[in-house]
Amino acid sequence: MKINLSALTALGISSFALTSCSQSGMHQRPNIIYIMSDDHAYQAISAYGGILKDLAPTPNIDRITREGMRFDRCLVTNSISGPCRAVILTGKYSHLNGFITNEGQKPFDGSQQTFPKLLQKSGYNTAIIGKWHLGSDPTGVDHWEILPGQGNYYNPDFITKDGRHTETGYVTELITYKCLKWLKENKDSGKPFMLMMHHKAPHREWQPGPEELTLYKDVTFPEPTTLFDDYSNRGAAEKSQDMTISKTMRLEEDLKLYKDRGKMKNTGLNRLSPAQMAAWDSVYNPIIRQFYKSDLKGNDLIRFKYQRYLQDYLACIAAVDKSVGEVLDFLKENGLDKNTIVIYASDQGFYLGEHGWFDKRWMFEQSYRAPLIIKWPGVVKPGSINSNMVSNLDLAETFLDMAGVMVPSDMQGRSMVPILKGLTPRNWRKEHYYHYYEYPGSHMVKRHYGISTERYKLIHYYYDIDEWELYDRKSDPEEMKNVYNNPSYASVARNLHKRLQKLMIKYGDSEEFARSFLPK
Ligand code: SGN
Ligand code: CA
C-alpha cells in the first residue's frame, strides 16, 4: 500500500506514528539480509542454468533458490554500479535520485528518503557493510563499514565513521567476518534487523582469494555462441564500444599475465604480503610462462583470454558463495532462519563473453537482467521460479512492505510481496523503462534509453548519434539483429514508441531533461 507522506505531514501525522500503529507484535517482523555482489552475471549461477550450469561454483546461492524464489526477469534501470545502488536505496529512477553515473558524479545525496532510513525509523536495527560506491557516507543505518570507491581485493581499506584504516586479508572473507560479527552482536537486541551485505567480488580485475587460487586452473569452459560477434546488423553504438575481450581486456592487469610487475600496483596487487604474493606467484607464474611461449594470435588468443577471464571470475564467485553459506549456517545455528528473509542479488548483470564482451551498461539481456533470489520461510514456496518483469526499482518498496512499513507514494517501483506470496497482481508491469547515461566514459557505451516488453526492446541512442534499434527476442534471443528499419516491424515500432513516450511521462523523464543536467 502506498501513502503520500507529504499529505500526512500536512495533516500533522508522522509516518512513524502511522507505521508504529499499523504494526502489531513488532518483534515478529522479519529480519532482512540483502546480500549483493558486484557484477555477478546470472549466467554464473548454477541455478539459473545456461552453459556454465555445471561449472558455476554456487551451491549455497543455489540453496537460497531451492528454498525460495528465483526471478528470471529482474531488470535494472541503469546498468552500472553507483546508479543501481542509488535506485535500490531510493526506489526512484536515476534522474530523480540524482545519481546518474559512476564517473564525474556528485556524491549521493544521503539526506533524501531511502528505504534503510524508513526501516530504521520504524524500529529496525540497520547496517551496511562492504562496497558502497556512492561517494557520501551512508545514512539511515545504525552501523556502517564500507570500502572506499571500488575497494581492493587484498588487504583492503575500510571506512567507518571514525575514518579510514587498512585490514589484512581477502575482501570477501573480511566482509563476511564483519557481517557475522554484526549479526552476533545485534541478534538479541530485541529489534528486527536489516543488513545490507555488499561484496566487492566478482568485480574487475577479478582477483581470486587465497583459498580459490587454483580452483579453475585446469578447467575449460564452453564458449558463448556470440563470442566472435562482429556487430553486423547493428548500429554505431555496438560497433564503437570499448569492452571487448579481444581489444579492451588487458593481458597484464585483467588476466594477470604480467611481464612488467610494476603494473601490479595499478590493480592493488602491490598490497599483497610476501606470503600472499608467494602463493599468488606459484599459481600465476607457470601460466605466464606458458602463455608467452605459446604466442597465440587471432581467435586463438581471444579463446585463451576468455578461458583465463572465466577462471578468475568464477574463482572470485566461489568465495562469495562460501560467504553466503556461512550466513545461512549462522542463521540456522542461531534459530534465526525461520524469521529472516535472505535475498541474493547483484548490482547489475554482466557479460561473460556474449557479443565478445565483458562489463555491462547495455539494455541487452546479459547486463540488463540481474540475478535475484529471495528466500522467505513460510511465505515463499520453496523452489519457485518467477518470470514477471520485476526491477531493482521495486526493492525498496518490497523491503518496506515485508517489514509492514507504509510505502511513500513518491517511490516509483512496486512491492513484490504479492508475487512472493504467489499472487502476481493482474496489472503487474508489462513493460520496463531503461536509461543509461555514462558517456563518454569507461567502455564507451553510448547513452541510451528504451522500453522493454516481454518480447521486444526499443532503444534510442540519443546523445552524439540519433539511432533507434528494435530487437525481437522471440525470433532473435541473442539480440544480434536490429529490425527497426524492417517494414514488417513498422507497426510494432509505432506501438512501442507510444508506450515509451507514456513511460517517460509516467516516470518524469525526457531526453531534454537528460541533456539539461549532463556534461556536454
Ligand atoms: C572500473 C572498471 C570498469 C568498470 C567500472 C564500473 N575498470 O572503472 O571496467 O566498468 O569500474 O564498474 S578497472 O580497470 O578499474 O577495473 S561498476 O560495477 O562499479 O559500475
Ligand atoms: Ca557492478
Give tens-digit pLDDT for 408-447. 999 999 999 999 999 999 999 999 999 999 999 999 999 9
Peptide bond into 418 cis (omega under 30): no
Confirm or reject: Cβ of 254 under 6 Å from ligand 1: no
Binned at pLDDT 50, 70 and 90, residue 312 comes out as: very high
Percent of the chain with pLDDT over 90: 92
C-alpha cell recorded at residue 252: 597484464
| pLDDT value of residue 22 | 39
| pLDDT value of residue 519 | 60
Confirm or reject: Cβ of 62 under 6 Å from ligand 1: no
**Ligand 1 centroid to 218 CA: how many Å?**
28
Among protein residues, the one with the nearest Cα to ligand 1's atom 1 is: 204
| pLDDT value of residue 449 | 98
Is residue 157 domain-shared with residue 288, that is, in the same domain? Answer: no
Among protein residues, the one with the nearest Cα to ligand 1's atom 20 is: 81
Is residue 285 domain-shared with residue 417, that is, in the same domain? Answer: no
| pLDDT value of residue 179 | 99
Q: For 114-162, give the DSSP string.
A: -HHHHHHHTT-EEEEEE---SSSPP-S-SEEEE-STT--SBS-EEEETT
Q: Quick check: is 176 in a domain?
A: yes
| pLDDT value of residue 9 | 38
Q: Quick check: is 220 in a domain?
A: no
Is residue 102 domain-shared with residue 202, that is, in the same domain? Answer: yes
- In the predicted structure, residue 26 carries a pLDDT above the cut 70: no
Binned at pLDDT 50, 70 and 90, residue 456 comes out as: very high
- In the predicted structure, residue 16 carries a pLDDT above the cut 80: no
Render pLDDT for 374-418 as a digit per residue (tens, 0 to 9). 999 999 999 999 999 999 999 999 999 999 999 999 999 999 999
Determine the average pLDDT of the residues in 64-93: 98
Domain total in the chain: 3
**Ligand 2 centroid to 75 CA: how many Å?**
14
Binned at pLDDT 50, 70 and 90, residue 104 comes out as: confident
Q: What CATH number did the domain enclosing 486 receive?
A: 3.30.1120.10
Range of the domain at 396: 5-207+310-425
Confirm or reject: Cβ of 302 under 6 Å from ligand 1: no
**Ligand 1 centroid to 74 CA: how many Å?**
22
Q: Quick check: is 226 in a domain?
A: no
- Ramachandran sector of residue 383 (left: φ over 0; alpha: ψ -120 to 50; beta: rest): left
More confident residue, 348 or 463: 348
Please give the Cα distance from 327 to 161 (Å, whole number): 25
Confirm or reject: Cβ of 205 under 6 Å from ligand 1: yes
| pLDDT value of residue 2 | 54
More confident residue, 278 or 27: 278
**Ligand 1 centroid to 204 CA: how many Å?**
6
**Whether the Cβ atoms of residue 51 and residue 43 lie closer than 8 Å to each other:** yes
The mean pLDDT value of the chain amounts to 94
Render pLDDT for 126-165 as a digit per residue (tens, 0 to 9). 999 999 999 999 999 999 999 999 999 999 999 999 999 9
Determine the average pLDDT of the residues in 447-470: 97
Please give the Cα distance from 86 to 132 (Å, whole number): 10
Q: Quick check: is 230 in a domain?
A: no
Domain boundary among 262, 285, 307: 307
Determine the average pLDDT of the residues in 287-306: 98
List Cβ<8 Å contacts ≥24 apart for 268-273: 268/152, 268/153, 268/154, 268/156, 268/207, 269/154, 269/207, 271/152, 271/154, 271/155, 271/156, 272/154, 272/155, 273/155, 273/168
Q: Quick check: is 131 in a domain?
A: yes
Please give the Cα distance from 520 to 515 (Å, whole number): 8
| pLDDT value of residue 271 | 98
Nearest ligand 1 atom to alpha carbon 82: 20
Domain boundary among 254, 275, 307: 307
Q: What CATH number did the domain enclosing 314 receive?
A: 3.40.720.10
| Closest among 366, 386, 388 to 43, alpha carbons compared | 366
- In the predicted structure, residue 221 carries a pLDDT above the cut 50: yes
Peptide bond into 138 cis (omega under 30): no
Is residue 185 domain-shared with residue 323, that is, in the same domain? Answer: yes
C-alpha cell recorded at residue 98: 540524482
Confirm or reject: Cβ of 38 under 6 Å from ligand 1: yes
**Whether the Cβ atoms of residue 229 and residue 355 lie closer than 8 Å to each other:** yes
Is residue 303 domain-shared with residue 314, that is, in the same domain? Answer: no
Is residue 417 domain-shared with residue 323, that is, in the same domain? Answer: yes
Mutate to test the pocket of ligand 1, among 79, 88, 103, 203 (most ligand atoms within 8 A of CB): 203
Note the pTM of the prediction, 2 decimals.
Answer: 0.95
CB atoms within 10 A of CB 1: 9
Confirm or reject: Cβ of 252 under 6 Å from ligand 1: no
| pLDDT value of residue 438 | 95
**Ligand 1 centroid to 105 CA: how many Å?**
14
| pLDDT value of residue 370 | 98
Please give the Cα distance from 420 to 74 (Å, whole number): 13
| pLDDT value of residue 292 | 98
Nearest ligand 1 atom to alpha carbon 348: 18
- Ramachandran sector of residue 422 (left: φ over 0; alpha: ψ -120 to 50; beta: rest): left
| SS (HEC) of 232-252 | CCCCHHHHHCCCECCCCCCCC
| pLDDT value of residue 14 | 36
- In the predicted structure, residue 24 carries a pLDDT above the cut 90: no
Mutate to test the pocket of ligand 1, among 358, 437, 442 (most ligand atoms within 8 A of CB): 442
Is residue 73 domain-shared with residue 119, that is, in the same domain? Answer: yes
Is residue 299 domain-shared with residue 332, that is, in the same domain? Answer: no
Q: For 372-418, give the DSSP string.
A: EEEE-TTTSPTTEEE-S-EEGGGHHHHHHHHTTPPEETT--S---HH
Peptide bond into 365 cis (omega under 30): no
C-alpha cell recorded at residue 357: 564482451
Q: Quick check: is 13 in a domain?
A: yes
CB atoms within 10 A of CB 329: 13
Among protein residues, the one with the nearest Cα to ligand 1's atom 16 is: 204
Measured in degrees and rounded to the nearest 5, phi and psi for residue 190 equal: 85, 0
Q: Quick check: is 216 in a domain?
A: no
Is residue 54 domain-shared with residue 112, that is, in the same domain? Answer: yes
Domain boundary among 373, 398, 425: 425
Nearest ligand 1 atom to alpha carbon 243: 9
More confident residue, 512 or 360: 360
CB burial of 405-425 (b: ≥16 within 10 Å; e: otherwise) equals bbbbeebbbbbbbebbeeeee
Q: Quick check: is 147 in a domain?
A: yes
**Ligand 1 centroid to 400 CA: how many Å?**
31
Percent of the chain with pLDDT over 70: 94
Render pLDDT for 488-508 as a digit per residue (tens, 0 to 9). 999 999 999 999 999 999 999
Binned at pLDDT 50, 70 and 90, residue 515 comes out as: confident
- Paired residues of 244 in beta bridges: 357
| pLDDT value of residue 516 | 79
Is residue 408 domain-shared with residue 464, that is, in the same domain? Answer: no
